[in-house]
Structure 1
Amino acid sequence: MPSSKPVDWNAVRREFPALANWTYLNTATFGQLPGRATAAVAKHFAHRDELACWDFLAWYDDADRLREKIGRLIHCAPQDVAFAPNASAALGILLAGIDWRPGDRVLTLENEFPNNLYAPGMLERFGVRMAECTWPDFFDSIDESTRLVVISSVNYNSGFAPPLAEIADFLRARGVMLYIDATQSLGALRFDAARIQPDMLAVHAYKWMLAPNGAGFFYVRPEVRQWLRPAAVGWRSHHDWRNVDNLHHGVPELSDSAEKYEAGSVSSALLYALEASVDLLLEIGPDSIEQRVLNLAGRTREMLRELGASVEDFPSQIVAARFEGRDVSQLARSLKEQRVLVSARRGHLRVSPHFYNNDQDLETFAAALSQLL
């Protein structure tokens, strides 16, 4: 359990070496790695060299320990969690396992991240239609042909954060499946899988969860696991795969847990890094982190408005600003020359502070930007 003592944010900041060299307000692109994550990878490879991998099954025991920690973070059981290299892989498993019918429809919001547009769009050969709608039209856009809604917990370019619990309740009452990509929120904003109960939640943990790219996981609701078959099978598909001296030959008998979707070997080194970062998130506490990032985002919005930007208020940690008549891509490049990192996305200057940022970062950013306007 996280300590009830106030968080020493300066000590937390010192865990991130890159912050000594950059004013980094770009976590919506990549999260910075804490030193403990890189140390965990180095420890794993040193351990491999020492033992020549004879204990490789223990690496999977450690992965199960990580499942339990992720379960604590998102409020689910460890058996609900599977590992994947990214959110696209998880979405592919869901799309491959649904018994599509001609005329079925997948719905998403306008300006969604391309993952949520491209993959469902590949289902046209089954007679499945992909549709986009605006947020004000969302609930009215759900009709009898809608089988699946694919949505991000926070929009990658605007910072819009849809009311996930309300959406989930609405869809569940109508028998419509819900897939949530929480890559742009988990690690910054709280998520309660027990309350929201999406059919699948996927996270590529290299942003707000502060892990290396290639480390990801997904949650599969227990009722969905009863019918959702793996998109691929491998030596770990059989429930008794740890019996490596006598691996099962024949049709695999699948586990009841989400582990059955992993098929083959996992990237142990990346999972050790992810575990180290999850430990940090749990030590600080999701409540403290969310309060911190929302406060930083709020101050960022105020600073940008003072500089003449048009900024919308969304309950998220991604701040998107428009400057009339200005090339935001050029602004981002010019800021980088001053060692201030932000992004340009679809006409917005995107600023994305995490808990490791501080007021000095915001002031440095605002001062540098004001010189360019």
Structure 2
Amino acid sequence: MLTFDDLRDQFRPRPGHLDAATAGVAPTRMLQALRADLERWGDGGLDVARYEDAVARARAAFASLVGVPASRVAIGGQVSAMAGTVAASLPDGAEVLCVDGDFSSVVFPFLAQGDRLRVRHVPAGDLAAAISPGTGLVAFSLVQSATGQVLDGEGVAAAAAAVGARTLCDLTQAAGWLRVDAGRFDLTVTAAYKWLCAPRGTGFLTVRADAQEMLRPVQAGWYAGDDPWASCYGPEMRLARDARRFDVSPAWQAWLGAAESVGLFAAADAGEVERHARGLADALWTGLGLPGSDGSAIVTLPDPDGTRRAALERAGCRVAGRAGRVRVAFHVWNDRDDVDRALDALTSARTAGSAERR
């Protein structure tokens, strides 16, 4: 087990980095591995076996982190592509229930099917109650990108199971700070470059055994083969029997990095990471004199004209603006000084705004 202090020591961003919800920080262990690999590549020593080992390590680490067997994890690149596989596998006329305002990569793959699928959107808080016997799939992000809201995943999964609907849960804004059980859902998709701090272009699809047959491996390539090096030529197609049949060919250096970063979070105490991130977010809510959210590591505030974001950036905070809100995200590298920095900036912005209105 990696201690929390050892995990924190792997991350050394400038003070005020409050933007893990946009992109993570590269851990030092990953930087060392990638730099060494670039040197080997430059010397003509590119080593495919090393990359394949990295894919296996990243797959196993993610499986451990989200509580499923490695055989239930496929590797991918982008959430939209993985969700697109699910969309292409649904029968004509299937109803897909989505959250109003969810991230486009969870929604567009289904809307792109045009008249073939029926896509319905409901407010996040109404998701479980909106599931009906006619629902074929519930597609949603466990933690909402624009608001930071943590949905009741257990409630959604139970309501879907009660009517025979499948679930597709996006864990991108959750895995890495929030303890999650991917096995609770039929399918999950995760981009690893945010809270898991992996290189962009790495991600994971989990497929529960009883849901595997519903998926058509529309992106099947050589790496989805039962034995990729022995089944990489036609005319026969011999796909892996487990979730690896949905693998895409890995971007080598990206997966070398993912093995290091995801491995760090898998080796740490996930509960300690969650308590730390949630505690800092709660401290900011308290300092602002506002009721907290639902225990999210993400704090968002209305910011239609960008005033709050500008004040935070002037104070040296790296934050994001999303859907008319400013978004502040706390992760392992943040501390109380970051809370105070953000609190001072937001208080100043509020005071300035009050003076202008007078």
2:273 alignment counterpart: 289
Aligned residues with identical type, % of pairs:
25
User: Is contact 1:328–1:348 with CA below 8 Å preserved after alignment?
Assistant: no
Q: How much has 1:313 moved relative to structure 2?
A: 1.9
Paired residues for 1:53-68 under 5 Å: 53=46, 55-68=47-60
Q: TM-score, normalised by structure 1?
A: 0.87
Determine which of 71, 90, 106 is the counterpart of 2:96.
Answer: 106
Q: TM-score, normalised by structure 2?
A: 0.90
**Structure 1 residue runs without a partner (length 5+):** none
Q: How much has 1:151 moved relative to structure 2?
A: 0.5
- Is 2:56 the partner of 1:78? no
CA-atom RMSD in angstroms: 2.1
The alignment of Structure 1 onto Structure 2 pairs a total of residues equal to 350
In the aligned structure 1, how far is the partner of 2:131 from the partner of 2:155? 14
1:266 alignment counterpart: 250
User: Is contact 1:82–1:258 with CA below 8 Å preserved after alignment?
Assistant: yes
Q: 1:278 to 1:232 in 2, by over 3 A?
A: closer
Paired residues for 1:1-373 under 5 Å: 1-3=1-3, 7-8=4-5, 12-19=7-14, 22-50=15-43, 52-53=45-46, 55-98=47-90, 100-102=91-93, 104-126=94-116, 128-194=117-183, 196=184, 198-243=185-230, 247-263=232-248, 265-305=249-289, 312-322=292-302, 327=304, 329-373=306-350
User: Is contact 1:311–1:320 with CA below 8 Å preserved after alignment?
Assistant: no
1:178-226 Cα distance to aligned partner (Å, 9 max, x none): 00111001000011123x1x12111111111111221211111112223
Q: 1:288 to 1:137 in 2, by over 3 A?
A: closer
SS across alignment from 2:136: strand
Partner amino acid for 1:260? Answer: R
In the aligned structure 1, how far is the partner of 2:200 from the partner of 2:310? 23
Q: 1:338 to 1:217 in 2, by over 3 A?
A: same
SS across alignment from 1:299: helix
1:22-68 Cα distance to aligned partner (Å, 9 max, x none): 41111111111111122221222333345633x41442133112211
Moved more, 342-351 or 355-364: 342-351
Q: How much has 1:80 moved relative to structure 2?
A: 1.1
User: Is contact 1:161–1:314 with CA below 8 Å preserved after alignment?
Assistant: yes
User: Is contact 2:141–2:169 with CA below 8 Å preserved after alignment?
Assistant: yes
**Structure 2 residue runs without a partner (length 5+):** 351-358
User: Is contact 1:178–1:200 with CA below 8 Å preserved after alignment?
Assistant: yes
